[in-house]
Amino acid sequence: MGPYRPLISPPTSMYELRGEYVGAPSFIAQIDSLMNQGYTKIIRTKGDGNCFYRALAYAYLSSLVESPNLVYSAKSVIESGCGMMERNHMDADIISTFCEPLMDLVDAVGSPDRNQALTHSRLLSAFQEDETSNCIVTYLRLLTTAQIHSASDDYAGFLFDDTGNPLEPSEFCRQYVDPLGKEADHVQVAALCRALKLHIRIAYLDGHSPDGQVHFQDITPPHGGKNEPLILIYRPGHYDVLIKTN
């Protein structure tokens, strides 16, 4: 997770990750457990504070490449999110600026033009470009803020600063959601999944399991996500994409 890591990297074997934990048997046991369950690869994101948003966006678009029949509903959800932002008094031009790169990639899924159709390789290239990748991250941050404001009563009891003092939604978002580089906590994760109607599954690689197993947490929107779960792996302070071999 060093400073020179790309914003997102090509899939790599879990054995590479395992090699980073030589001398940490509790982590090794958990990684072995994941591999025994068929989780064979990891897509790494840069540890720049934006890893959750970038990993989720990449996993989401990758799932559309695999299932282009979901594009129509994905576009509808994204457009609905833009409407929610406008209702929360966000500038329409700003919303459009940050939403456009995401919509362009969604539109490219299943394109009849083979030179334009989104593939996993083209998706990776797009996410390695600073402008495209960070525009998408910013859009997701704005969407998270809009969701927290739109359902503020649902989040009111969970918004705190670093010292444990409660914050109003507007101040929480100003400090912990809107700025690039601010890590996502459970509130942001749950709010974004709700806004995008996504089901995600997070594997916690923390070295704390007494039996060497990995705890998985499922996060679903209130009415259930229509997608197969997007699988992320969390290590203290960092998210990557986890890939299971069928």
Task: Please indicate, yes or no, if residue 89 is contained in any of the structural domains.
Answer: yes
pLDDT for 226 beyond 80: no
Please tell me the pTM assigned to this model: 0.95
Task: Please indicate, yes or no, if residue 2 is contained in any of the structural domains.
Answer: no
| CB-count burial class (<10 Å; 0-12, 13-18, 19+) for 38 | exposed
Q: pLDDT-based confidence at 124, cuts 50/70/90?
A: very high
Largest CA distance in the chain: 54
CA dist 197 → 44, 49, 192, 216, 225 (Å): 24, 23, 8, 19, 5
Q: pLDDT-based confidence at 5, cuts 50/70/90?
A: confident
> CATH number for the domain including 31?
1.20.1300.20
* Structural domain for 109, as ranges: 12-244
pLDDT for 182 beyond 70: yes
Looking at residue 3, its pLDDT comes to: 55
Q: What is the pLDDT of residues 14-45, one digit of tens each?
A: 999 999 999 999 999 999 999 999 999 999 99
Task: Please indicate, yes or no, if residue 188 is contained in any of the structural domains.
Answer: yes
Nearest to 89, CA basis, from 146, 152, 13, 11: 146
Average pLDDT for 136-142? 98
User: In this structure, what are the phi and psi dihedrals at residue 62, rounded to the nearest 5 degrees?
Assistant: -60, -35
Task: Please indicate, yes or no, if residue 45 is contained in any of the structural domains.
Answer: yes
Task: Please indicate, yes or no, if residue 6 is contained in any of the structural domains.
Answer: no
Q: Among 119-123, 202-206, 218-222, name the one with the lowest average pLDDT.
A: 218-222
Task: Please indicate, yes or no, if residue 74 is contained in any of the structural domains.
Answer: yes
- Cβ contacts of 60 within 8 Å, gap of 6 or more: 74, 196, 198, 230
Return the percent helix, strand and coil in the chain, to nearest 5: 50, 15, 35
User: In this structure, what are the phi and psi dihedrals at residue 45, rounded to the nearest 5 degrees?
Assistant: -115, 155
Q: At what angle do helices 130-150 and 51-66 cross, to 10 degrees?
A: 100
Catalytic residues: 48, 51, 238
Amino acid at position 230, single letter: L
Total number of domains in the chain: 1
Task: Please indicate, yes or no, if residue 141 is contained in any of the structural domains.
Answer: yes
Torsion (CA) 52, 58, 59, 61 in degrees, nearest 10: 140
Q: pLDDT-based confidence at 48, cuts 50/70/90?
A: very high
